[in-house]
Amino acid sequence: MRISPTRRPTTPFSYHARPGPSPILVGLVLLVAFVLGFLTHEQGWHEVVLRWARDPRATFAVWRVRTTLPLVVLDVRFADYQQLVSLHERSLRLGVHVPVVDESVAATATFGAGARETVAVRLPGGPATWLESDVWSLELRRAGTTDWVRIVPVGEAAESTWQQWAYLEALRREGFATASQAPVRLQLNGRDLGLYVLETPALAELLLAFDPQPAWAALAAGEPLSEDGFRYADVTIIAGATSPDAPEALARLRTAQAGAAPLSELCDAESLGRFLALTALWLGEPAPDWRTLRWAYDPVTQQLAPVGAGLPWAAVAPLPDAFFDDPAVQVAYARALVELSAPAYLSQVRGAWGDSLEAQWLALGAEGTPWPLLEARQQMLRARLAPERAVAAALAREGANFVLRLTNLQPFPVRIAGLDAGGAGVRALDPAWVFPEDRALLVETGDALVLRAAQGALPQPVRVRLPWNLTTAGGDALTLVARLWDVSAPELRIPVMDLEIIP
């Protein structure tokens, strides 16, 4: 018997679909993705993630410090905010913002744990550098005050922001009147704008400044600005306009601006030199920015004193060299540079307030530590005090005589000790040998030959008529010996160049 296999009835293939994701879950995922993308773009969280990957401990320390920073909450009505936006767009087109009297708008603000208060808000005047990003600089004026408080975003400028804070703190510790800065978090109309620095100006009974508004107006009109616009500046009173000493203070600062009197007659030379040296070390600038610098006036001594302020613009506009054309101030500046550029000064700073410097560096998000920056700055200052070529020296024959041409290349007076002819010893140069028409380029010191500091781009040589036997004793090896005047600085030995014979 044959048994055939039993065939089962075929059943068509059936697919049982799994239940799909819940619409609510999809919505939550999309919302989280949107929020993360928004925060990444607005707050730069991608940088935090990258920094965390490089150094998680330092990143956690930055986060912990920033969570303790005070929060500034600013609320501006929609119509008023649109007015600021319109001014912002106009400033970007012109490349500069020129504030007008009635352009500020009303807002409410809360500073840290303080009470809610009414403030006036405006855009800061000046080049539109800080208006090019999504977060802007602003100026706030609290009710019952005349000073505008500046609030500036940190963004990617953490290192330069730290330098400004440290500069102002160094000035304060040296006894100078100065503005104060503090890192804060800003919230505008419910939107977190991240890390800012709040700067409160210094207080004094009588404060003056160089008004930059005419320079801004000229820049907006398309005019080229010489000396970074300083020639447009006029003296204005910031505080104390009703003081009986205001006219005298205005007259003194205008005298300084015009160069009609040496600064040492209007300021304390040693104090001003120290102020300039601190500016060079902490900011790396030869002089403070004239657009933000303020001056206090003391009616008892009838002297002006510089007052520290931050630098809200990327491009610095230092006071011109001609403003400091006073040997007494220049020498005081050089002496202060000698002290501040020494390793002992930085050791003193680290011991006295190094913890504060490092904490602020951390809070602003700068990488590493601040000490390599300051050490490099000190090295730069030491090189400035002992340059390879402080004076250009050239010898030419004029008929039967020899003429030595000396050109000071430094912003400090230089004392010419003499000439070394072929190693035979240094022979002093008599100031009486200088051509009469060139003696205005010397510092009056009696029997020493001291060249005034370099001024402007054009060289100003001093011609010295030399005795015939002084130049011929050394053959081709003639060396000028010099050093900075009245400063403990290294001796400079400069080879003398030969020029063509003058008929």
Mention every residue, 6+ apart, whose C-beta is less than 8 A from residue 182: 70, 197, 198
Q: What is the mean pLDDT of residues 421-432?
A: 84
pLDDT at 52: 46
* Amino acid 339: pLDDT: 96
Return d(Cα 278, Cα 178) in angstroms, integer.
Answer: 13
Q: Which residues pair with 209 in a beta bridge?
A: 236, 294
Mean pLDDT along residues 306-310: 93
pLDDT band at 46 (very low <50, low <70, confident <90, very high): very low
Distance CA 503, CA 501 (A): 6
Mean local confidence (pLDDT), 199-209: 92
The number of C-alpha atoms within 13 Å of 76 and in the hemisphere containing its C-beta is 21
Q: How many CB atoms lie within 10 A of CB 41?
A: 11
In the predicted model, what is the mean pLDDT of residues 349-359? 95
For the sheet with 497-498, list strands across it.
Answer: 462-466, 401-408, 391-398, 497-498
Query: Which tens digit of pLDDT belongs to each residue from 453-474?
Result: 998 777 889 999 988 776 654 4
**Residue partners of 248: CB distance under 8 A and separation at least 6:** 297, 299, 302
Q: What is the mean pLDDT of residues 421-443?
A: 89
Give the pLDDT band of residue 146 (cuts 50, 70, 90): confident
Q: Which pLDDT score is estimated for 79?
A: 95
Q: Which pLDDT value is given to residue 66?
A: 64
Whether 121 shows a pLDDT value over 70: the answer reads yes
Q: What is the mean pLDDT of residues 34-49?
A: 48
Chain segment 368-403, per-residue pLDDT in tens: 899 999 999 999 999 989 887 889 999 888 777 789
Q: What is the pTM of this model?
A: 0.84
Percent of the chain with pLDDT strictly greater than 70: 83
Per-residue pLDDT tens for 47-85? 444 444 555 555 555 555 666 789 999 999 999 999 999
Phi-psi region of 368 (alpha: psi -120 to 50; beta: other; left: phi over 0): left
Q: What is the pLDDT of residue 311?
A: 78
pLDDT value of residue 43: 44
Mean pLDDT on 242-271: 94
Average pLDDT along the chain:
84
